Amino acid sequence: MLHIVNKSPFENTTLASCLRVACKGGGGALLLIEDGVYAATKNSIAGNVVRSAMGDIQVYALWPDVEARGIQDRVLEGVKMVDYGGFVDLVVEHSNVQSWL
Amino acid sequence: MNETTGGIEDGDGSGIVKKFMFVNRKAPYGTIYALEGLEVVLISAAFDQDVSMVFLDDGVYQLAKGQHTKAIDVKNFSPTYRALEGYDIEKLYVERESLEIRGLNAGDLLVPVEVLSSAAMGDLMKTQDVVIGF
């Protein structure tokens, strides 16, 4: 299952809720888009949360959103970058998708 | 989309039944999401699908007993949740953690629900054909 988060983890509990529900069982994927990409920054509280979730869930971030926000040099190791085509591939590869609006 | 159970008689044979899950995560009156989500669920009932409703985060407030909205001049749509059963929407799930964080329990809700841990909720979500969030 693919989970998509588009909210900053610093002003919204969406990422926490997503990880709470999604992490158990493994095999899933998390795609960070829009302000959600801030969760992929290392040495941040949210980044630490994402890093510890990586054992349970594969984490991706949308490169155009990462680059737009200037965080490309501070991205957490292990987060895979995807472009818009990669976004589509992720949606196709997974049986279902939850957008955590 | 691997599981089609079929079995719906619609006059010219059987239709396809998919598992739809509606995930409600917003409180009822601050934004329009909760009401719009409820409208969509009611519409989906007309298509005889396998519908579940999930209440997470502030979405659990949608089901709180004792909503009185007259003074804010907004329609109180909470009684509608009690009518869902009449549309064969009987699978209502609430996440235990979301209730506990808000000091609520199942007895504070206006409909009978199944309370699930976040892990069980995640498992249930994985089994759906379509997940739609509000």
Question: pLDDT of B20-58, one tens digit each?
Answer: 999 999 989 889 999 999 999 999 989 999 999 999 999
Residue A58's H or E segment, with its range, is: strand A57-62
Would you kindly state where each structural domain of chain B is located, as residue ranges?
Answer: 8-133
Residue B7 predicted with pLDDT over 70 = no
Could you read off the pLDDT of A56-87 as tens digits, one per residue?
A: 999 999 999 999 888 888 899 999 999 999 99
Q: State chain A's maximal CA–CA distance in angstroms.
A: 34
For chain A, report the end-to-end CA distance as a whole number of angstroms.
Answer: 16
Q: Is B100 on the interface with A (CB under 8 A)?
A: no
Residue A16 predicted with pLDDT over 70 = yes
Q: List the beta strands (DSSP E) in B1-134.
A: 8-9, 14-15, 19-24, 50-55, 91-95, 114-116, 130-133
pLDDT (0 to 100) of residue A27: 74
Taking the C-alpha atoms of residue B38 and residue B21, their distance in angstroms, rounded to an integer, is 12
> What is the number of structural domains in chain A?
1
Taking the C-alpha atoms of residue B56 and residue A21, their distance in angstroms, rounded to an integer, is 10
pLDDT (0 to 100) of residue A44: 86
Residue A15 predicted with pLDDT over 50 = yes
Q: List the beta strands (DSSP E) in B2-119.
A: 8-9, 14-15, 19-24, 50-55, 91-95, 114-116
Could you read off the pLDDT of B100-129 as tens digits, one per residue?
A: 988 989 999 999 999 999 999 999 999 999
Give the best residue of B52, B95, B131 to mutate against chain A (max A CB count within 10 A): B131
Burial call B14-50: b when 16+ CB within 10 Å, e when fewer = ebebbbbbbbbbbbbbeeebbbebbeebeebeeeebb
Could you read off the pLDDT of A20-32 as tens digits, one per residue?
A: 999 876 779 999 9
Contacts of B54 in chain A (CB under 8 A): none
Q: Which top CATH class is B8-133? A: alpha beta
Three-state SS at A16: helix
pLDDT confidence tier of residue A17, bands split at 50, 70 and 90: very high
pLDDT confidence tier of residue B2, bands split at 50, 70 and 90: very low
- Under an 8 Å CB criterion, which residues of A touch B? 1, 13-14, 17, 20-25, 28, 95-101
The shortest C-alpha distance from A61 to chain B (Å) reads 20
State which residue of chain A sits closest to B118, comparing Cα positions: A21
The shortest C-alpha distance from B121 to chain A (Å) reads 6
Report the CATH number at residue A57.
Answer: 3.40.1260.10
Give the best residue of A3, A12, A18, A21 to mutate against chain B (max B CB count within 10 A): A21
Domain of A44 in residue numbering reads as 2-100
The shortest C-alpha distance from B86 to chain A (Å) reads 27
Taking the C-alpha atoms of residue A4 and residue A67, their distance in angstroms, rounded to an integer, is 18
Question: Tokens at residue A63, please?
Answer: 């490169």
pLDDT (0 to 100) of residue B14: 60
Q: Is B32 on the interface with A (CB under 8 A)?
A: no
Average pLDDT, chain B: 89
Average pLDDT, chain A: 93
Residue B13 predicted with pLDDT over 80 = no
